[in-house]
Chains A and B, each alone.
Chain A
């Protein structure tokens, strides 16, 4: 009998040791404050709201439970940190200003990748008067960015800023102004140019070239390059590398199976479609990017991109309609 009890004791000790060591590990794990990255269908970031204090380093240990993700904080120029399945990554952040920061995934982890967002609430060490945020441009201009905005006039060929530059002297000054550029679509600009008496002898195509030239005056090659850099990792998955609305996720976007809220995701905008693009003003595009598509599946980028980055993106989007190469001549 003694042998039997000894045998049972050995078994119980082994099983208890197994259970207790796992329980201790589980407890330590919960205290370790790990940020889990999962595809939005599987829960996205957990936890999705972090807290930090100005000037105090915040170390985040991260792991992925499914595919490769990447961690980045919006509007900050910190490099993104890749998060591999089952492996632990870490990043230490120190914020110098209070506010609500958005962190997000920069890897195309799935159709709903764009919804993989979280926030870091950074509080000040001492109470500060909150900064008053300026409303976005489309609000200031009173634009309804959800309204239909098809172009009324379309060019027969790709408008060229280079060809337009040759006629640049005849372009009235107001078309070169920032204010005019922001609030008018290319189609509206073309119509206004058509009404200009000094341009009445210009052909329709020449006027489109002038529009392209006017638009080119509002950007730089560096801004366009910066916009392209942003477009490829953040927009091309849906809108397509060439703006054709045919990115790798485009086919799946309309599939309700991928919808997280029961609503089907709308087909992405086609930037290479003149009717769609030439009817949109820069302020409208800026607003769409900053605010998102509101129910269409288009994510909001306001907390992610700086204003400068958004304008760089807008500049790049025009390259799907205009040839901005000033050296290009007929």
Chain B
């Protein structure tokens, strides 16, 4: 069997070469066996329970509590620098939140008894898309200043998410929570299009003649691989690879951003909104967490106070009015300049693509600024996870090498510029696809440039 195959795209006409990792002899068992994933998932679930308990009983001092450091520094950084760029929704494959519900639904941890427990209702059509995930992300963002420092609150949020995921899995079919509600799922799903890995059908003709659709029946996400347009909803659990009777599904290594290169993206307004919410959140969090404005930090921290209400209102207005308004204006100018005949609404939905690399790399830049100076705390809480004065591994007093901190501004500038270049390039390609004048790309490029300059000012200015 060939390792590198041509993978036909359902949408579009190109056939691209991919390296199928599932055919690598030394990797095949690790991908196709349920055991490695089960072990990892069990460990992450145990770690998740430990995190909740550490948050509840450990030191309330955030910098000395495992819950704060591992959730908001280690995991949040790894998600943006590792899981998403490399594997898209790869975190979802080991995320502990849906596990108890999924196991209950399946009636087993490793053997699948079908829909064993729960009502198995379909998720309401009106609530599909990223709308709710965007709202929840904004809601959590309003409390972020406290959440990121308060171990107890972090623990309660994790517990609420765990219980919500479990409850929804007993009412609705498959991973309803992950697909439509999880704010992190929305974040990872959005940027999964840029990732290096994808699960795809190898020969569509084989699937078309296969009537049992075992891959769809076993997919916890309810995805039919043949109909998969991009990786935004694929949780990389590999269940489809395991159950495919024809070994016709691949785990492909692909170039970055392959999903963004499609000529006719089937994206909705919900995706554009989520992309803009991510941009506004990166902007707001940079101002609050890394900016020099003490009054802004105080306002974001004083939940319930008039100052906090003003901060929240500004954050919501930026996310739902200012940035969407500016972006709609840019797309409108793009439409007029290029003489593009499509309705503005459709065009705004399609134009979410340039926002994705811009957002992902902005978040990476923000993470470098926010998390790098705190990396020593990861070693510190490993030795003293509860902030009780332990030194289990002799790293309780660890400090970070100043050279790493010195390199941070250069890395941030680099990340923002990469995001900007990629975004502008995608906008240009969209214009070319629409056979419009190159000047039509300028308004969206100007939006990306303005946003990037603002981020650079906040981060390194």
B42 close to A10 (CB less than 8 A): yes
> Is B387 in the interface zone, CB < 8 Å from A?
yes
> Is A63 in the interface zone, CB < 8 Å from B?
yes
A26 close to B57 (CB less than 8 A): yes
Residues of A with C-beta under 8 A to B45: 11, 14-15
A4 close to B111 (CB less than 8 A): yes
Residues of A with C-beta under 8 A to B108: 4, 7
Q: Which chain A residues have a beta carbon within 8 Å of chain B's beta carbons?
A: 1, 3-4, 7-8, 10-11, 14-15, 17-19, 22, 25-26, 29, 32, 34, 61, 63-66, 85-88
Q: Give the number of residues in B that approach A within 8 Å (Cβ atoms).
A: 27
Residues of A with C-beta under 8 A to B60: 65-66
A61 close to B389 (CB less than 8 A): yes
B388 close to A29 (CB less than 8 A): yes
> Is B223 in the interface zone, CB < 8 Å from A?
no
Q: Please, which residue of chain A has its CB at the minimum distance from the CB of B389?
A: A88
Residues of A with C-beta under 8 A to B61: 64-66, 85-86
Q: Please, which residue of chain A has its CB at the minimum distance from the CB of B48?
A: A18
In the assembly, what is the distance between CA of A14 and CA of B44, in Å? 10
Residues of B with C-beta under 8 A to A26: 57
Max chain A C-beta neighbours (<10 A), residue from B53, B54, B61, B386: B61
> Is B371 in the interface zone, CB < 8 Å from A?
no
From known contacts A4-B111, A7-B110, A22-B57, infer whether A86 and B64 are also in contact, taking CB-CB under 8 Å: yes
B109 close to A4 (CB less than 8 A): yes
> Is B326 in the interface zone, CB < 8 Å from A?
no
B64 close to A87 (CB less than 8 A): yes
From known contacts A7-B109, A7-B110, A10-B38, infer whether A63 and B389 are also in contact, taking CB-CB under 8 Å: yes
| Contact of B59 (CB < 8 Å), options: A4, A18, A22, A63 | A63
Q: Please, which residue of chain A has its CB at the minimum distance from the CB of B44?
A: A14
7 additional A-B pairs beyond A25-B388, A85-B61, beta carbons within 8 Å, are: A7-B108, A8-B109, A10-B42, A14-B42, A15-B46, A34-B388, A86-B61
Q: Please, which residue of chain A has its CB at the minimum distance from the CB of B107?
A: A4
> Is B408 in the interface zone, CB < 8 Å from A?
no
Residues of B with C-beta under 8 A to A1: 111
Q: Please, which residue of chain B has its CB at the minimum distance from the CB of A1?
A: B111
B residues 37-68 in Cβ contact with A at 8 Å: 38-39, 42-43, 45-47, 49-50, 53-54, 57, 59-61, 63-65
In the assembly, what is the distance between CA of A88 and CA of B397, in Å? 12
| Contact of A86 (CB < 8 Å), options: B49, B59, B110, B111 | B59
Residues of A with C-beta under 8 A to B64: 85-87
B50 close to A11 (CB less than 8 A): no
Q: Binary interface profile of B, 63-93, with partner A (CB < 8 Å = 1, else 0)?
A: 1110000000000000000000000000000
23 contacts between A and B (CB under 8 A): A3-B111, A4-B108, A4-B109, A7-B38, A7-B109, A10-B38, A10-B39, A11-B45, A19-B49, A19-B53, A22-B53, A22-B54, A25-B386, A25-B388, A63-B59, A63-B387, A63-B388, A65-B60, A86-B63, A86-B64, A86-B65, A86-B387, A88-B389
